[in-house]
């Protein structure tokens, strides 16, 4: 019996997840997605999910996965392309509870990695501290994140810049330098 | 949009056995598990073709990660050649085309039952531990709803009481495996029934550890560089098994975790528990070119 071969979709989804998994396991490091932000939708989201998405093209893609399109306050995954709305979405998303930390949502948004204000990350996955630059975020975004991430409650954020992704799990402490 | 565009061509089996929606659920839960180290995340735990309790949790995590370029090592109590380990490894390679190995240094995914290899794991390696009972509070609180509340409150006093009672009854802490450990200063987890010897290998490690209980339908994770502190009293330091003075009767290795083999004469001999490390040591002694990687322990002492 010859070994089965992964389909193109299998390869893309596994590579996407591998990038996201290492991005979350090592906050501050940048990993490569096969194509871009839409990979994350296809690799993570299906009929069991409630998704907030603010872009019509992405909304059509989410619809093909069978996920329910909802407002941010009900979503378990949010894909927010507009920087103007990112703050409101972050504030509205469910953050889980100490009883059910798994109900905290995942937020995916575009950012400019390697530009913008210097940040110092620490926490699980970071050997000591790690300095990064994340640009294109609305004012007060990181302060709002800190307010939402009352560990073990919180929201996971994946910053996507083209084909590159950086993870910011709720366990990471961010200090603006 | 037509039905044809939403449907895939027929195939006898999904790549890596699990179907796409099962993998997506595993992915979502693994991300959450990494984000809250040591916190148990519920998941659906699909049927796989081995019985629950024989490594189905670890198998589902491995099947989610696996790709043709993966190299998998599967160990059962340190041994690569046990029936359980050999069956899981062969199944993994058959459904994915991934390569099989016994060598810790070659593996990209290491699925393990109850041991962590003696050679240090690297940044790019994922350790998947099979977990029979993921709930450290079960011995002190059988009601899982109350146990969940205790985790939410970080109410772990009763675990310290168990250790205290062991001290009072036996004069020392007798918890040999699945030693409760505080992860990232917040959640107590059971590190699966690895010996005390292996728990410090998870503390501030370079590799990613995923722990998954298929029968209990929960998974949790220890990301790299995460604090994993065994529960101890400040005046009673954590002690690993005293195997520093033992020598493997087959390979001559010393300063590694040993299995005790009782003999007919009434005595016992010892054998390195990490069986492939023993094999590599024998090959080296016979003059073959075999590479043994850096070890966690040196002469029975953990290296920083």
- Distance CA(B199)–CA(B228), nearest Å, equals 8
- Distance CA(A113)–CA(A133), nearest Å, equals 6
The residue-averaged pLDDT of B213-236 equals 96
Q: Which of A34, A51, A101, A166 to mutate to test the interface with B (most CBs of B within 10 A)?
A: A101
User: Do the domain assignments include residue A174?
Assistant: no
**In the predicted structure, residue A109 carries a pLDDT above the cut 80:** yes
Tens digits of residue pLDDT in B120-155: 999 999 999 999 999 999 999 999 999 999 999 999
Confidence of residue A1 (pLDDT cuts 50, 70, 90): low
Q: Which of B8, B35, B68, B125 to mutate to test the interface with A (most CBs of A within 10 A)?
A: B35
Q: Which domain holds residue A161?
A: 8-166
pLDDT at A58: 95
Tell me the percentage of chain B whose pLDDT exceeds 70.
100
How far does CA B209 lie from the centroid of its chain?
Answer: 7
**In the predicted structure, residue B6 carries a pLDDT above the cut 90:** no
First-to-last alpha carbon distance for chain B, in angstroms, is 59
Strands (E) across A54-163 are located at: 68-69, 77-79, 106-110, 112-122, 129-135, 156-161
Tens digits of residue pLDDT in B42-86: 999 999 999 999 999 999 999 999 999 999 999 999 999 999 999
- Residue A41 CB partners (closer than 8 Å, separation 6+): A51, A58, A61, A62, A65, A79
* Nearest C-alpha neighbor of B111 from the set B136, B135, B87: B87
SS3 A51: strand
- Distance CA(A137)–CA(A125), nearest Å, equals 23
Average pLDDT, chain B: 95
Long-range contacts of B249-253 (CB under 8 A, 24+ apart): B250/B278, B250/B282, B251/B277, B251/B278, B251/B279, B251/B281, B251/B282, B251/B285, B252/B281, B252/B285, B253/B277, B253/B278, B253/B281
Distances in Å between the Cα of B8 and the Cα atoms of B14, B68, B173 are 11, 21, 57
**In the predicted structure, residue A67 carries a pLDDT above the cut 90:** yes
pLDDT at B4: 83
The residue-averaged pLDDT of B228-249 equals 93
Q: Residue B41's beta-bridge partner residues? A: B219
Q: Which of A14, A125, A126 sits opposite B67 (nearest CB)?
A: A14
pLDDT at B35: 97
SS3 B223: coil
SS3 B131: coil
CB A101 to CB B226 under 8 A? no
User: Do the domain assignments include residue A177?
Assistant: no
CB B225 to CB A126 under 8 A? yes
Distances in Å between the Cα of A66 and the Cα atoms of A38, A47, B10 are 15, 4, 20
Q: Which of B24, B34, B226 sits opposite A21 (nearest CB)?
A: B34
Distances in Å between the Cα of B162 and the Cα atoms of A129, B137, B141, B159, B236 are 36, 10, 12, 5, 14
CB A3 to CB B223 under 8 A? no
Confidence of residue A38 (pLDDT cuts 50, 70, 90): very high
- Domain with A126 in it: what CATH number? 3.40.50.11310
Domains recognised in chain B with CATH numbers: 20-136+180-227 (3.40.50.11310), 137-177 (no CATH)
User: Do the domain assignments include residue A57?
Assistant: yes
Element (H, E) at B281: helix B275-285
User: Do the domain assignments include residue A175?
Assistant: no
pLDDT at B272: 96
**In the predicted structure, residue A83 carries a pLDDT above the cut 60:** yes
Size of interface A-B (CB pairs under 8 A): 136
Tens digits of residue pLDDT in A127-157: 999 999 999 999 999 999 999 999 999 999 9
- Distance CA(A113)–CA(B76), nearest Å, equals 43
**In the predicted structure, residue B273 carries a pLDDT above the cut 90:** yes
Percent helix, strand, coil in chain A, to 5, is 35, 30, 35
**In the predicted structure, residue B11 carries a pLDDT above the cut 90:** no
pLDDT at B2: 82
The DSSP symbol for B215 reads T
The residue-averaged pLDDT of B167-176 equals 92
Residues of B in contact with A148 (CB under 8 A): none
- Distance CA(A45)–CA(B261), nearest Å, equals 50
* Nearest C-alpha neighbor of B215 from the set B50, B37, B36: B50
Count Cβ atoms within 10 A of the Cβ of residue A55 and give its class: 0-12 exposed, 13-18 middle, 19 or more buried: middle
The residue-averaged pLDDT of B146-165 equals 96
Distances in Å between the Cα of A76 and the Cα atoms of A46, B16, B275 are 11, 26, 44
Contact A144, A154 (CB under 8 A): no
CB A152 to CB B8 under 8 A? no
SS3 B272: strand
Angle between the B56-65 and B20-35 helix axes, to the nearest 10 degrees? 100
Distances in Å between the Cα of B106 and the Cα atoms of A104, B110, B122, B273, B291 are 36, 10, 10, 19, 10
- Distance CA(A34)–CA(A47), nearest Å, equals 23
Q: How many domains does chain A have?
A: 1
Cis geometry, peptide bond prior to residue A152 (ω within 30 degrees of 0): yes
Residue of A nearest to B151 (CA): A99
Distances in Å between the Cα of A147 and the Cα atoms of B110, B130, B271 are 38, 36, 53
Tell me whether strands A112-122 and A173-176 are parallel, antiparallel or unpaired: antiparallel
**In the predicted structure, residue A3 carries a pLDDT above the cut 80:** no
pLDDT at B117: 97
Q: Which of B31, B37, B65 sits opposite A171 (nearest CB)?
A: B37
Q: How far is B121 from chain A (nearest CA, A)?
A: 15
Average pLDDT, chain A: 95
């Amino acid at each position: 019996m010859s070994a089965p071969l992964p389909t193109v979709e299998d390869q893309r989804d596994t590579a996407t997840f591998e990038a996201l998994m290492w991005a979350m396991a090592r906050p501050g490091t940048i990993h490569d997605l096969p194509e871009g932000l839409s990979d994350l939708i296809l690799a993570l989201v299906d009929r069991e999910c409630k998704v907030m998405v603010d872009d019509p093209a992405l909304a059509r893609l989410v619809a093909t996965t069978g996920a329910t399109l909802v407002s941010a306050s009900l979503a378990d995954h949010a894909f927010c392309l507009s920087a103007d709305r990112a703050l409101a979405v972050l504030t509205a998303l469910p953050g889980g509870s100490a009883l059910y930390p798994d109900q905290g949502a995942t937020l995916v948004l575009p950012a400019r990695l390697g530009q913008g204000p210097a940040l110092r990350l620490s926490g699980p996955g970071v050997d000591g501290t790690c300095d990064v630059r994340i640009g294109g975020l609305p004012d007060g975004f990181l302060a709002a994140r800190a307010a939402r991430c009352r560990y073990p409650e919180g929201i996971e954020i994946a910053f996507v810049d083209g084909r590159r992704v950086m993870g910011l799990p709720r366990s990471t402490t961010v200090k603006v330098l | 949009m037509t039905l044809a565009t939403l449907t895939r061509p027929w195939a006898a089996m999904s790549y890596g056995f699990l179907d796409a929606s099962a993998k997506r659920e595993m992915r979502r839960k693994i991300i959450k598990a990494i984000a809250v180290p040591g916190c148990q995340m519920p998941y659906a735990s699909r049927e796989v073709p081995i019985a629950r309790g024989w490594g189905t949790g670890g198998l589902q995590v491995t099947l989610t990660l696996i790709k043709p370029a993966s190299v998998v090592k599967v160990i059962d109590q340190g041994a690569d050649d046990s029936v359980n380990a050999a069956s899981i490894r062969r199944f993994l390679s058959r459904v994915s085309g991934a390569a099989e190995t016994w060598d810790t240094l070659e593996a990209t995914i290491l699925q393990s039952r109850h041991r962590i290899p003696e050679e240090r794991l690297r940044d790019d390696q994922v350790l998947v531990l099979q977990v029979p009972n993921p709930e450290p509070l079960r011995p002190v609180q059988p009601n899982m709803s109350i146990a969940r509340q205790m985790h939410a409150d970080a109410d772990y006093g009763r675990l310290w009481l168990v250790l205290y009672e062991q001290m009072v009854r036996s004069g020392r802490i007798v918890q040999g495996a699945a030693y409760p450990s505080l992860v990232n200063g917040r959640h107590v987890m059971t590190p699966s029934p690895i010996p005390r010897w292996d728990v410090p290998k998870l503390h501030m490690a370079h590799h990613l550890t995923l722990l998954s209980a298929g029968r209990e339908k929960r998974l949790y994770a220890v990301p790299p560089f995460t604090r994993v502190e065994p529960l101890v009293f400040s005046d009673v330091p954590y002690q690993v098994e005293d195997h520093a003075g033992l020598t493997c009767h087959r390979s001559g290795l010393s300063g590694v975790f040993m299995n005790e083999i009782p003999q007919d004469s009434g005595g016992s001999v010892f054998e390195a528990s990490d069986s492939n490390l023993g094999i590599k040591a024998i090959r080296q002694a016979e003059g073959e070119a075999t590479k043994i990687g850096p070890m966690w322990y040196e002469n029975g002492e953990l290296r920083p």
